[in-house]
Structure 1
């Protein structure tokens, strides 16, 4: 896991900054951060309302890989997604919030995060995403993964947990119930994870902070 600089002292932080500092401290210490019920209502509620109001045809089946390597594989994952462009008020607020988190983490941890991409995700009853990494080691594209859950009144026993594995050898993992406002962040190359099937529709917003790896006229991340 990368070495990060020590944290700055807390000096009158806002509620948002306190959450950001907790995430930074967790990433520094363990590489991941799990924060139940963390998103403030003024951000969470519009996201929940927006995703519930989205027409089904706004979502598309999710695949694996990017661009030419993108394929659909029902054995690996069965969710559907809608990329967030910032056209909606809720989406724009989420991207702005993630932008402030990016600036905070760059200042505290010197990560060099360059951009953020994000989508809404919908898992129907029985849908899943098998164990995988969000980035391949050494590619240095997706640096930090971020997930927030948008499910009202989610109960233990309804499934749909994120299972975050501490490393490639871990077979038990840490289970995270997709309760509303719960926020998870982790280093994309370090932690395999999966989404277990749920008994009802499951919604989240997922995103990735990326590095600028543009070389020889190849723009990455693409604009």
Structure 2
């Protein structure tokens, strides 16, 4: 994916609606390499928690997926991070957001796994500005991402996982959930962040 791909239509969508759905956003070869990387690190996926740092806890009534945070241990991860860096530059240039960095992890949903309604950031309490979801495979059914209208229980859009599709939305603005998976579903969840550093100490990821 190049900066040109997210210009025009997709940047307009972000500006006017706060989200964009970009099909075939990521090169097929890179998607294949990322899936292969998931298989490589499969034994190292961990049950996902909720919250950040010292407040993080496991609650399987809220989410049941497993995650693996990127550690640049493969060329596929390095290439994907470079792609996101290019997108970050484009977003900063277009919207003057002051995005500082990007963090992401693989997410694995097995049959029955879900993630109930939640925000990825809370106004004034987080440095996550934009959420991204990149799908790495195309399950036959289940595992849809549901994005809700701002300050409403009404559904804005339901997105079926499809390999290569990239979804981007404002982290503070949209509540969302992942419906129970019927088949194994792999994706990359990521966040463009502002720097919430204090006294020169860079705010840590996650």
Superposition TM-score tier, normalisation by shorter sequence:
over 0.9
Unaligned runs of 5+ in 1: 1-14
Please, which of 113, 116, 120 is the counterpart of residue 102 of structure 2?
A: 116
> In the TM superposition, what is the alpha-carbon distance from 1:172 to its structure 2 partner?
2.6
| TM-score, scaled relative to structure 1 | 0.86
CA contact (8 A) 2:133 2:187 kept: yes
- Whole-Å separation in 1 of the counterparts to 2:204 and 2:87: 19
Please, which of 132, 152, 157 is the counterpart of residue 169 of structure 1?
A: 152
CA contact (8 A) 2:69 2:105 kept: yes
1:34 matched to which residue of 2? 21
2:189 matched to which residue of 1? 206
> How many residue pairs end up in the alignment?
205
Unaligned runs of 5+ in 2: none
- Whole-Å separation in 2 of the counterparts to 1:182 and 1:211: 25
2:58 matched to which residue of 1? 72
> In the TM superposition, what is the alpha-carbon distance from 1:18 to its structure 2 partner?
2.9
Please, which of 119, 143, 152 is the counterpart of residue 129 of structure 2?
A: 143
CA contact (8 A) 1:24 1:109 kept: no
- Whole-Å separation in 1 of the counterparts to 2:83 and 2:71: 14
1:24 matched to which residue of 2? 11
1:180 matched to which residue of 2? 163
| TM-score, scaled relative to structure 2 | 0.93
Structure with max Cα Rg: 1
Question: RMSD of the alignment, in Å?
Answer: 1.7
> In the TM superposition, what is the alpha-carbon distance from 1:161 to its structure 2 partner?
0.2
